[in-house]
Homo-oligomer: A and B are copies of this chain.
Amino acid sequence: MAKPSRLPDPKEDFSAWYVEVVKQAGMAEHGLAKGTMVIKPHGYAVWEHIQRALDDRFKATGHENLYFPMLFPESLLNKEAEHVEGFSPQVAVVTHGGGQKLEEPLVIRPTSEAVIWNTYANWIQSYRDLPLLYNQWCNIVRWEMRTRLFLRTSEFLWQEGHTAHASEAEAWEEAVRMQGVYREVAEDVLAIPVLPGRKSAQERFPGAVETLTIEGMMRDAKALQCGTSHFLGQNFAKAYDVQFLNDKGEQEYAWATSWGFTTRMVGAAIMTHGDERGLKLPPAVAPVQVAIVPIYRADDERSRVLEAAAKIRDGLAGNGIRVKVDDRDQHRPGFKFSEWELKGVPIRLEIGPKDVDSDQVVVATRFDGSKEQVPAPDIVMGMAARLDHAQRALFEDAISFRDDNMHEADSYDSLREGIAAEGGFWVGAWCGEAACENRVNKDTSATIRLLPLEPEDPGGPLPRVRENRNRAGYLGKGLLTAG
């Protein structure tokens, strides 16, 4: 690994800081084909922890995994009107295979509603076949002009859930449940506080009746969409003719949801918790939770110090903690300290010959930069609590930042001037018309990030949400609007 150089100050140039920290911390780099990304081991390991956290929750809520083909005939995409309009401009098209021109071009999935609902037509005959609660882990290609590592790339990794139900209420409940799962993983695992709500009609997924979202605030006080769950009504069932015999003996179109969470969330974790020294990874997803840096000058010191380090490593590993001893001889301790800070490792232990003599260890905590001396025998048993504390502290700090940058506007002028002067999230009333939404965007470059579900009854039944659709909205500058 190349020697880390000074990072840009995130408070001055957040975008430059992000680009540089992703690179220097070894999270990802650009691929050869336009807009593609190599996810490097330190970045991919974060994604693996996210995957495990989501997958466990999907299974606990009754879902099973399966896999649909990545390639399907272009014509299949054309059956749902809004869906084709939304995705056709973004697809990659395979025209040749095995040295031959194909009779009909194939598209690479930009999302899988089309291929899945086309197949569900064969799987669903009766209400007894429902619900189908399926998910797949896969790659997606959407042609993008302006790309940014993790946040927006032509190819990305995600999971996409696709469920079919016998009633509107059950499908709505599922969409709300999965929004809840996403919120839990964002907050409890990635330590990213998010606001749950639903999208305006213009911001909805193409083909959805309602798009539920969770929105996080990054350290530039801009919003990032952190996972969406769509209530699709009967739109896809009608487009792909998926009817079933209901329990009254009548033919009915099936009710649908879909929901996705992507590698973008690795970027969200970087942008929520970093500082001028690099990443601050939440312990729940940190590939290395504890880095042990041995400090020695002479050879006789080396073996004593490494022996003490190995003992602590074994104790921590035995308690299920992800720990690494950095015994590289070609680098000095100071270099290693900086590198582990850059890589966002939550806890660093420093052990030198004097520490071995006095049976203690220096514990350096990444989230607040503190250092303390701790008796070596207390290190192993106390580590889980230290990591829990670090996880909570990152979450609470992000909440404080978010709340400090969230405002209410009581008039259009205060909204317009406030966004221009302070940025951040703004809560304001909305007339409910696209014209007003477009005017806000034109005047301020802000977009409506979400509309609340019923405040007194989050995730409540659909009809009540519909009645109150236009009551009020959170407004925040979108990352990509101003990026």
Binding site for B on A (CB under 8 A): 29, 31-33, 36-41, 43-45, 47-48, 64-73, 76, 88-99, 105-106, 108, 115, 118-119, 128, 134, 138-139, 141, 143-145, 154-155, 157, 328, 330
Looking at chain A's contact residues, the main secondary structure is: mixed
Q: How many Å lie between the Cα of A32 and that of B330 in the bound state? A: 56
Q: Which residue of B lies closest to A119 (CB)?
A: B38
- Select one of B41, B71, B96, B139 contacting A138, CB under 8 A: B139
A80 to chain B, nearest CB (A): 16
Are the CB atoms of A31 and B72 closer together than 8 Å? Answer: yes
A154 to chain B, nearest CB (A): 8
Are the CB atoms of B134 and A41 closer together than 8 Å? Answer: yes
Q: How many Å lie between the Cα of A90 and that of B45 in the bound state? A: 32
A-B contact pairs, 16 of them (CB 8 A): A29-B119, A32-B72, A36-B72, A40-B66, A47-B67, A67-B157, A92-B98, A92-B106, A93-B96, A94-B95, A94-B108, A95-B96, A96-B105, A98-B145, A128-B328, A139-B139
Q: How many Å lie between the Cα of A97 and that of B29 in the bound state? A: 21
A124 to chain B, nearest CB (A): 12
A24 to chain B, nearest CB (A): 14
Are the CB atoms of B32 and A69 closer together than 8 Å? Answer: yes
Q: Which B residues are CB-close (under 8 A) to A45?
A: 64-65
Q: Which residue of B lies closest to A30 (CB)?
A: B69
A49 to chain B, nearest CB (A): 11
A224 to chain B, nearest CB (A): 21
Are the CB atoms of A38 and B138 closer together than 8 Å? Answer: no
Q: How many Å lie between the Cα of A36 and that of B60 in the bound state? A: 30
Q: Which B residues are CB-close (under 8 A) to A128?
A: 328, 330
A111 to chain B, nearest CB (A): 15
Are the CB atoms of A96 and B92 closer together than 8 Å? Answer: yes
Q: How many Å lie between the Cα of A224 and that of B40 in the bound state? A: 34
Q: How many Å lie between the Cα of A37 and that of B72 in the bound state? A: 11
Q: How many Å lie between the Cα of A134 and that of B42 in the bound state? A: 12
Q: Which residue of B lies closest to A96 (CB)?
A: B93
Quick one: given A66-B40, A128-B330, are A93 and B95 in contact (CB under 8 Å)? yes
Q: How many Å lie between the Cα of A144 and that of B128 in the bound state? A: 37
Quick one: given A31-B69, A37-B69, A39-B66, are A97 and B93 in contact (CB under 8 Å)? yes
13 extra A-B contacts, CB within 8 A, seeds A36-B70, A44-B65, A71-B92: A31-B68, A33-B72, A37-B69, A41-B64, A44-B66, A47-B67, A71-B155, A88-B99, A91-B98, A92-B96, A94-B95, A97-B143, A108-B108
Q: How many Å lie between the Cα of A78 and that of B5 in the bound state? A: 36
Q: How many Å lie between the Cα of A155 and that of B105 in the bound state? A: 16
Best-buried of A72, A108, A134 by chain B (most CB within 10 Å):
A108
Q: Which residue of B lies closest to A100 (CB)?
A: B143
Q: Which B residues are CB-close (under 8 A) to A68?
A: 31, 38
4 closest residue pairs by CB, A with B: A98-B143, A36-B69, A31-B69, A41-B64
A280 to chain B, nearest CB (A): 21
Q: Which B residues are CB-close (under 8 A) to A115?
A: 31-32
Quick one: given A64-B41, A93-B95, are A32 and B155 in contact (CB under 8 Å)? no
Q: Which B residues are CB-close (under 8 A) to A71?
A: 31, 33, 36, 92, 141, 154-155
Q: Which B residues are CB-close (under 8 A) to A64?
A: 41, 44-45
Q: Which B residues are CB-close (under 8 A) to A105?
A: 96
Q: How many Å lie between the Cα of A40 and that of B119 in the bound state? A: 11
Q: Which B residues are CB-close (under 8 A) to A330?
A: 128
- Select one of B32, B38, B94, B96 contacting A66, CB under 8 A: B38
A473 to chain B, nearest CB (A): 31
Are the CB atoms of A89 and B95 closer together than 8 Å? Answer: no
Q: How many Å lie between the Cα of A76 and that of B36 in the bound state? A: 15
